[in-house]
Chain A
């Protein structure tokens, strides 16, 4: 994919995000993978925070769009077995970090594109987390290889998306939908679903990934994916100025669904960045990979959803009022766990190399 194509691919995502806000999604939340999984967890009753419960059609669209295009291009392939439990835990803590900052890395870009400078602090934290993760990657960090699995494994995630779509349309009694707050603010179902499908196709084809953009730039001086992220930012900015001029506001204070606690905006996204780079992709990318048949990514998505449920049940999620103490503790615990896991993997790798060297007489 050429530079101009990936710039435009990112651009379409940015414009769709602005459009979704215009038609009813919360401000700066045209697309937010973390927030949307959080809303889905709430709709399923996994947490009972009444203001953030809705089955977001965008997520269903991401999964089905990526699944269909992967099938068409013969890229659909069921694989798995690369440290699934570690991936689950990493997904869990990526969500804990994202909900302390209040948004996934994609929403971070969208917030920035609407003047929310707290997202700039988040961006610094995110890039710092990625940089830390890269140090482990350079020392040989790996979650191990995956193997081909029976095709049916890969159909589970798209089937979950279909089940969610059925719940969304039929709204059975056990599903919760917010009547106030962000969860009640939603673009029309059809528009959200179609936008989701388009984004799913674009991200699958363009391999767009918020962590990949910065990682490749730092690690191998490859600016391909970063160009896509710039496309998202520029076109979301233009889209907001044209479609949502009333909500555009540059500054730190009173930004929609955000707080201005610098330290925790930074550290929340450090945790999200570290976890995502160790996983090999941000929450959006994990969702797309899961749809392509990658069951390790599917387990990661389940980790994200579980993390979102815990974030509200344990009171670790931030709100406009700030970051609760539980959230601060959870971020520190998350950083310790991820650094510990990565450190152990790297040190064991070094041990193996030493032993091999001894055997070979080196």
Chain B
């Protein structure tokens, strides 16, 4: 179960990454990030990995759930 769910769907750059950054600074993992486009998925994944986290991506109905642990 995630400690925090970040809904970054429909947000333009760089908001999904910023929202993830804030969430990782204020809550301890695992956190869940919801995005609705490929670019946000890539950016959040790249950001989380650069901070040493692992990311599991689940796709459903043109949206992505990113579990950051």
Contacts and interface: CB of A to CB of B under 8 A. Distances in A.
Interface residues of A, number: 27
Given A137-B18, A220-B47, A222-B46, A82 B13 contact: no
Interface in B34-56: 36-39, 42, 46-47, 50
A143 B46 contact: no
A212 B17 contact: no
A215 B42 CA distance: 16
Contacts of B14: 137, 212, 215-216, 219-220, 280
Interface size class of B (residues with CB under 8 A): 10 to 19
Contacts of A137: 14-15, 18
B4 interface: no
Interface string A187-209: 00000000000000000000101
A79 interface: yes
Contacts of A145: 9-11
A220 B37 CA distance: 20
A81 B10 CA distance: 9
A146 B15 CA distance: 12
A207 B39 CA distance: 7
A174 interface: no
Given A75-B38, A137-B18, A142-B15, A222 B47 contact: yes
A281 B12 contact: yes
A186 interface: no
A101 B56 CA distance: 45
Contacts of B17: 220
A296 interface: yes
Nearest to A285: B13
A149 to B, nearest CB: 11
Contacts of A73: 38
A207 B42 contact: yes
Interface in A217-263: 219-220, 222, 224
Contacts of A212: 13-14
A57 B37 CA distance: 28
A146 B42 contact: no
A69 B42 CA distance: 17
26 contacts: A73-B38, A75-B37, A75-B38, A77-B36, A77-B62, A79-B37, A81-B10, A137-B14, A137-B18, A142-B11, A143-B12, A145-B10, A146-B10, A146-B11, A148-B62, A207-B39, A207-B42, A209-B13, A219-B14, A220-B14, A220-B21, A222-B47, A280-B12, A280-B13, A280-B14, A296-B12
Interface of A: 73, 75, 77, 79, 81-82, 137-138, 142-143, 145-148, 207, 209, 212, 215-216, 219-220, 222, 224, 279-281, 296
What 5 pairs across the A-B complex have the smallest Cβ distances? A145-B10, A280-B12, A146-B10, A280-B13, A75-B38
